[in-house]
Structure 1
Amino acid sequence: MAKSVEEILDGIDLYAEDQREHLLDAAAAARTRCPIPHSAADGGYHVLTRYEDVRAVCADAETFSSAQPSLRGVPVRVIPIDTDPPEHREYRKILNPFFTRAYLLRYEEQLREIAHTAVAGFLDKGEFEVVGDFAVPFSAGSLAKIVFATDDTDLVDRGVAAAKQAAVASTPEAFQTLAGLAVEALAQAAPDDGVLGALVTARIDGRELTMEERLGIVTTLFLGGLDTTRGVLTNIAYHLATRPDVEPILRRPDWWRRELDEFLRLETTVAFMARTATRDTELGGTAVKTGDRLAVFFAAADRDPARFDRPDELIFDREPNPHLAFGLGIHRCLGLHFARLQLAIAFEELLARATDFRLKPGAEIPRQVGLSLNSPYRLELTFRRR
């Protein structure tokens, strides 16, 4: 049974299934009572519910370290997510060239073919399950072809399962599985194979990357590439089926430039990450001690009424829209251009062949807990073929 707001505030736990349904409501209540509540879960942590507090922490990498970015701990490296300056900058220098929009556009036709193939698999049925039939095949196929340059579908399929488990429960087993998959992916890489090939030849201060560094980067690519885009695509599909104004918006060729940001704000892709205080400090009136853990609750910050008018509504002409779905500061999402390109292509290919989307009558919509907070992990829709 879902806990009430009051029950959640008495013992907040960002991974608890019985808190998921009213967690954002509890964060809203906390802003006016105790803006930085403390959780006793997972060793204890402060929960940041206000936009300004989240922004302050993300902008101060010296005081708030990313060395352990998961509330439950990560038993393997997840580079560059778990690095601080100056090392973080060196890793991003290696990766950034492969994630610019200009670089990624060279793969546009391949992305369209992946989306086209996925749509063809259910087009004659008049219905589909968004996650399994479309979001996962498209996001996993994109990562395999564009980032990993592999045809090993079994490798990527196993990555999908492990990435979901890491997002939902952050278990050590899931991260160890991803690290094992990283070993396999690197073993297949050739020097001219894009980002993986670059890891084989990259240098930092004249030295080669260690195997731990290479595996850490590839593990991060699995995490970022297999669960986040899937979550956004599924969330948008839900609104497509429940709001008549969404389909015309998604048919605009440039919707990904502005309207996408409102989808991202309302249902923030990565709900929270962790930071660790490196010194005694104060944050929003709350004392923070050296070693204290903080949950940077992006999803709550993106619904802070002090920063966003009518924060619990989709308002497509919201301007400006400084949401935190891609993070802030030095850890702003490496793959944000890849995500925008994927989402634009996915819905363009889907809407070119289908229209009039509706929720399938009687179908349940189970939703995730954890990092992909409230994203459906099963969503059955009907449609008309165009």
Structure 2
Amino acid sequence: MAKPVEEILADVDLYAEDQSENLLAAAAAARTTCPVPHTEADGGYHLLTRYEDVRAVCTAPELFSSAQPAIRGVPVRVIPIDTDPPDHREYRRILNPYFTRAALERHEPQLREIARAAIESFVDKSSCDVVADFAIPFSAGSLARIVFATDNRELVDRGVAAAKEAALTSSPEAFQLLAGLAMEALAEAEAAPDDGADNVLRALVTAKIGDRALTLEERLGMVTTLFLGGLDTTRGVIANIVHHLATRADVEPLLRQPGGWQRELEEFLRYETTVAFMARTATQDTQIGDTPVKAGERVAVFFAAANRDPAQFERPDELVFDRAGVPHVSFGFGIHRCLGLHFARIQLAIAFEELLARTTRFRLAPGAEIRRQAGLSLGSPHRLDVVFDRV
């Protein structure tokens, strides 16, 4: 049973399933009374509910360290998410060339092939579980073929399960499992013949910072981060958008409009924030707005709440597709702005172009029960059973 807002505000817990349904309502209530509430959950942290506070903290890495970016702690490195300047710049320098829009657009034919194969598996049934039948196969296949350049789908499939568990619970076991999978992926890349291929795993095996090679911990940390970022985020956005397709008559015409739907996609990303929150640690005594924060205290940067702040967005709790601009923080902000944001946008455009080329008139399946996740992927459906017509 969902806790009421008043009880949530008395002791916020971002991972509690009985709070997830009303967390954003609780954040809205806090903005008008105590915009930076403190909770004792998970060792204690301050919760940011305002857009301006989220941006201020994200642009001050000297005051708010990313060294431990998860509320519940991460027992393994997640580089470069957990790295402050100047090291952060060096890690991004290695990865950035593989995640530019131009570099990724070269893989469009492969991405379309992956999407079509997933759709082919269910289109004749005129029904599917969007999460298991489309979102996961497409996001996992994209990561395997484009980022890791591996045919080892069994490894990637295990990564899907571990990444989802990490997003749901942030358990040490899930992160340790991801680190083990990263080890396997790196070993596979090192054992492969040097055929001149240029991909992320090959780059990590050969990259240097200055005149030293990356340590094993650094390599593992970067691959673990790619598992986390590449598997759970796109899956969640696809499921959320299909839910709107199935429940709102105005969404399908928008997605089918000539010239694309870039503005509408940004509004979906604002409304259904993929990564709901991250953590920072104060490096010295400071304050956020009028709230004092002591050195060593933890701060939860609640991106999902910032994206619903009425001081920044009119009608924040509605999907408004004709906004003049959508400066959302769904990909973070500042130096830690998401490495894979171009990859996500390209994947999402392709996913829905291919899906709507074969299907139309989505509806929720009779008796479908929408159970949404708590934790990092707040609000994303665990399962989404729909029916549709073939084009």
Q: TM-score, normalised by structure 2?
A: 0.98
How far 1:377 sits from its partner (Å)? 1.1
8 Å contact from structure 2 (residues 364, 385) kept in 1 = yes
SS across alignment from 1:46: strand
Deviation per CA, 1:141-173: give whole Å up to 9, x if none.
000000011111110110000000100000000
Structure 1 residue 215 corresponds to structure 2 residue 253: no
Deviation at 1:257, TM superposition (A): 2.3
> Any stretches of 5+ residues in structure 1 without a counterpart?
none
Which amino acid in the other structure matches residue 38 of structure 1?
H
Number of residues of Structure 1 aligned to a counterpart in Structure 2? 386
Matched, 1:362 2:359: no
The one-letter amino acid paired with 2:250 is D
Structure 1 residue 249 corresponds to structure 2 residue 239: no
**C-alpha displacement at 1:28, in angstroms?**
0.2
1:323 aligns with 2:333: no
CA displacement, residues 167-191 of structure 1 (integer Å, 9 cap, x when unaligned): 0000000000000000000011145
Moved more, 246-255 or 32-41: 246-255
**Which residue does 1:69 correspond to in 2?**
69
Asked if 2 retains the 8 angstrom alpha-carbon contact of 1:149 and 1:193, the reply is: no
Q: Is the 8 A contact 1:367 1:377 kept in 2?
A: yes
* Contact in 2 for aligned 1:280/1:289 (Cα 8 Å): yes
Which residue of structure 2 aligns with residue 176 of structure 1?
Answer: 176
Q: What SS is found at the alignment partner of 1:264?
A: helix
Helix, strand or coil: the match of 2:366? coil
Q: 2: distance between equivalents of 1:256 and 1:276?
A: 38
| TM-superposed deviation, 1:4 | 0.2
| CA deviation vs aligned residue, 1:55-105 (integer Å, no higher than 9, x gap) | 000000100000000000000000000000000000000000000111011
Letter in 2 for 1:155: L
In the TM superposition, what is the alpha-carbon distance from 1:256 to its structure 2 partner? 4.6
1:17 aligns with 2:17: yes
Q: Which structure 2 residue ranges, 5 or more long, are not aligned?
A: none
Q: How far apart in 2 are the matches of 1:296 and 1:36?
A: 10
In the other structure, the counterpart of 1:380 is 385
Structure 1 runs (4+) deviating above 2 angstroms are: 190-193, 252-257
1:180 to 1:254, Cα distance in 2 relative to 1, 3 A = farther
Is contact 2:254-2:261 (8 Å) kept?
Answer: no
Match of 1:274 among 276, 279, 283: 279
Distance in 1 (alpha carbons) for counterparts of 2:336 and 2:91: 11
Tell me: CA distance 1:9–1:58, structure 2 relative to 1, closer, same or farther (3 Å): same
The Cα offsets for residues 241-283 of structure 1, whole Å up to 9 and x where unpaired, read as 1111111111135445211100000011100000000000011
Q: Does residue 228 of the first structure (1) align with residue 233 of the second (2)?
A: yes
Which of 347, 350, 364 is residue 345 of structure 1 equivalent to?
A: 350
**1:305 alignment partner, one of 282, 307, 310:** 310
CA distance in 1, matches of 2:65, 2:274: 21
Q: Is contact 1:256-1:340 (8 Å) kept?
A: no
Paired with 2:220 and 2:108, the residues of 1 have a C-alpha distance of 27
- Distance in 1 (alpha carbons) for counterparts of 2:244 and 2:386: 11
- The residue number in structure 2 matching 1:26 is 26
Q: Which amino acid aligns with 1:55?
A: R
2-structure distance, mates of 1:163, 1:221: 10
Shift of 1:2: 1.0
- How far does residue 317 in structure 1 lie from its aligned partner after superposition? 1.2
Task: Report the counterpart of residue 138 of structure 1 in structure 2.
Answer: 138
Inter-partner Cα distance in structure 2 for 1:263 and 1:257: 10
Task: Render the CA deviation track for 1:215-263: whole Å, top value 9, x for unaligned.
Answer: 0000000000000000001000100111111111111354452111000
Aligned to 2:106, the other structure's residue is in SS state helix
TM-score (norm 1): 0.99
Q: Tell me whether 146-155 or 192-201 shows the greater mean CA deviation.
A: 192-201
SS in 2 for 1:287: strand
Q: Tell me the CA shift for residue 313 of structure 1.
A: 0.4
Identity %: 74
For the residues of structure 1 that align with 2:111 and 2:257, how far apart are their CA atoms?
A: 19
Matched residue type, 1:105: E
Aligned pairs for 1:195-210 (under 5 A) are: 195-210=200-215
Q: 2-side partners of 1:381 and 1:255: how far apart?
A: 24
Instruction: State the partner residue of 1:121.
Output: 121
SS at match of 1:79: coil
Partner SS, residue 282 of structure 1? strand
Report the equivalent of 2:338. 333
